[in-house]
């Protein structure tokens, strides 16, 4: 089988397309013939040894896949050969065949294309857990999304609108702003690439407050971090909730006196741990998401597709923060 391997720590250009033996599923596992693999920001970190999980090399990046079951191990009763599925594998997804624990594999509706299935769980799962479980978002809340044109950000726009929130999408270009408006964002805000200047930070906070009606936003969904974080916290309303989602711009340092002055919460969003520690809640959330998909309220926005041999280019597009919505690696 074909697989895109990380053989040494480094950027996307260090990946090597290789041939390897087809794996066999073990007990409570299935093998999946992969049709598509979602590309996510953690994939750019794991190949540099900068992610929480550091698999032994060689390994393939790619945490979420879709395809069809082509072999079933012992003690698997709810999946069979030919089932259309998606799988959360953590890594190893940039390959033509993958073995996965059956508990991490979910059947998909017949009407869901493989490329959309490969983009569904991580982004929507993260954003739904963030907004529903961690922020307890309510109809009428104002929601600021930093990095709104990315995968989790675009999902947060759709889910925020489905929850009845007023959505303010913050992005780095007019092209991305238009993408967010097309998704349903009520307001857009274009921030500068360099937010290190204090005057720029104060202006950013002021713009957020203006767009929210003057009192600040109820919820901040921060998938950017860096120098954008503190001005976003300063733009929170009384008892606001700041969601810590990701740090492509760096890990921020936030003055904790702001939490006292605003009575606000800084809330971590670790979706991967949530799925393991709270499996019943995760299952309920997945039920919510498939229902919203069937109702047409959420749908992965795929802006680019790459064949397996060009998976490095897919990762580079994400690393350069040029992707709109989702990027997919296809095997067929």
Looking up residue 230, the CATH number of its domain turns out to be: 3.40.50.720
Say whether both 171 and 196 belong to one domain: yes
Count CA atoms within 13 Å of residue 169 on its CB side. 31
DSSP for 53-109 reads --PPSSB---SEEEEEEEEE-TT--S--TT-EEEEE-SS--SBSEEEEEGGGEEE--
Say whether both 130 and 203 belong to one domain: yes
Count CA atoms within 13 Å of residue 236 on its CB side. 25
Report d(CA 97, CA 18) in Å as an integer.
13
Tell me the pLDDT band of 75, cut-offs 50, 70 and 90: very high
Tell me the pLDDT band of 321, cut-offs 50, 70 and 90: confident
Q: What is the tens place of the pLDDT at every residue in 169-188?
A: 999 999 999 999 999 999 99
Report d(CA 270, CA 29) in Å as an integer.
25
- CA dihedral (80, 82, 87, 93) in degrees, to 10, reads 130
The answer to whether residues 282 and 305 touch, using CB atoms and an 8 Å cutoff, is no
> For the whole model, what pTM was predicted?
0.92
Q: What is the tens place of the pLDDT at every residue in 129-168?
A: 999 999 999 999 999 999 999 999 999 999 999 999 999 9
pLDDT at 331 over 90: yes
Tell me the pLDDT band of 53, cut-offs 50, 70 and 90: confident
Say whether both 152 and 256 belong to one domain: yes
Tell me the pLDDT band of 260, cut-offs 50, 70 and 90: very high
Report d(CA 76, CA 104) in Å as an integer.
12
Q: What is the tens place of the pLDDT at every residue in 262-317?
A: 999 999 999 989 999 999 999 999 999 999 999 999 999 999 999 999 999 999 99
Question: Is the sign of the CA dihedral 294, 298, 300, 303 positive or negative?
Answer: positive
Say whether both 113 and 20 belong to one domain: yes
Tell me the pLDDT band of 193, cut-offs 50, 70 and 90: confident
Say whether both 72 and 153 belong to one domain: no
The answer to whether residues 324 and 303 touch, using CB atoms and an 8 Å cutoff, is yes
Report d(CA 249, CA 233) in Å as an integer.
16
Say whether both 20 and 128 belong to one domain: no
Say which CATH number the domain at 74 has: 3.90.180.10
Q: Which domain holds residue 6?
A: 2-120+300-330
pLDDT at 332 over 90: no
Task: Answer whether residue 159 is part of any domain.
Answer: yes
H-type alpha helices, the chain:
41-46, 114-117, 121-128, 151-162, 174-183, 198-211, 229-234, 257-262, 271-277, 279-294, 311-319
Residue 52 is predicted with a pLDDT of 84
pLDDT at 128 over 80: yes
Question: Is the sign of the CA dihedral 145, 146, 148, 152 positive or negative?
Answer: negative
The answer to whether residues 148 and 165 touch, using CB atoms and an 8 Å cutoff, is no
Residue 100 is predicted with a pLDDT of 97
Say whether both 78 and 50 belong to one domain: yes
Task: Answer whether residue 290 is part of any domain.
Answer: no
The answer to whether residues 168 and 211 touch, using CB atoms and an 8 Å cutoff, is yes
pLDDT > 70 in the chain, percent? 100
Specify which residues 33 forms β-bridges with. Answer: 68, 97
Split into its structural domains, the chain has a count of 2
pLDDT at 88 over 90: yes
Residue 15 is predicted with a pLDDT of 98
Task: Answer whether residue 291 is part of any domain.
Answer: no
Work out the number of other CB atoms within 10 angstroms of the CB of residue 138. 11
CB neighbours of 213 closer than 8 A, spacing ≥ 6?
142
């Amino acid at each position: 089988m074909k697989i895109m391997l990380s053989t040494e720590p480094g950027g996307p250009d260090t990946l090597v397309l290789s041939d390897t033996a087809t794996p066999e599923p073990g007990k409570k596992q299935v093998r999946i013939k992969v049709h598509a693999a979602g590309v996510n920001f953690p994939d750019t970190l794991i190949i540099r040894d900068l992610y929480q999980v550091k698999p032994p090399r060689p390994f393939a990046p790619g945490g979420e896949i879709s395809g069809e079951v082509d072999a079933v191990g012992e003690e698997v009763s709810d999946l069979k050969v030919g089932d259309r599925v998606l799988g959360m594998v953590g890594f190893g997804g940039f390959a033509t065949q993958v073995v996965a624990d059956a508990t991490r594999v979910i059947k998909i509706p017949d009407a869901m294309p493989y490329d959309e299935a490969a983009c569904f769980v991580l982004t929507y799962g993260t954003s739904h857990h963030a907004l529903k479980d961690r922020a307890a978002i309510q109809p009428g809340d104002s929601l600021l999304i930093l990095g709104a044109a990315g995968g989790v950000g675009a999902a947060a726009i759709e889910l925020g609108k489905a929850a009845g929130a007023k959505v303010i999408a913050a992005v780095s270009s007019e092209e991305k702003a238009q993408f967010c408006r097309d998704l349903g964002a009520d307001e857009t805000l274009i921030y500068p690439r360099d937010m290190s200047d204090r005057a720029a930070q104060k202006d950013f906070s002021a713009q957020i407050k203006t767009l929210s009606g003057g009192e600040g936003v109820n919820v901040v969904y921060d998938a950017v971090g860096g120098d954008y974080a503190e001005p976003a916290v300063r733009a929170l309303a009384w008892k606001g909730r700041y969601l810590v989602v990701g740090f492509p711009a760096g890990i921020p340092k936030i003055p904790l006196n702001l939490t006292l002055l605003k009575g606000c919460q800084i809330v971590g969003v670790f979706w991967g741990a949530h799925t393991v520690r709270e499996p019943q809640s995760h299952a309920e959330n997945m039920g919510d998401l498939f229902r919203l998909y069937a109702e047409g309220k959420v749908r992965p926005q795929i802006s680019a597709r790459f064949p397996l041999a060009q998976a490095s280019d897919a990762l580079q597009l994400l690393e350069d923060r040029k992707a709109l919505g989702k990027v997919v690696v296809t095997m067929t």
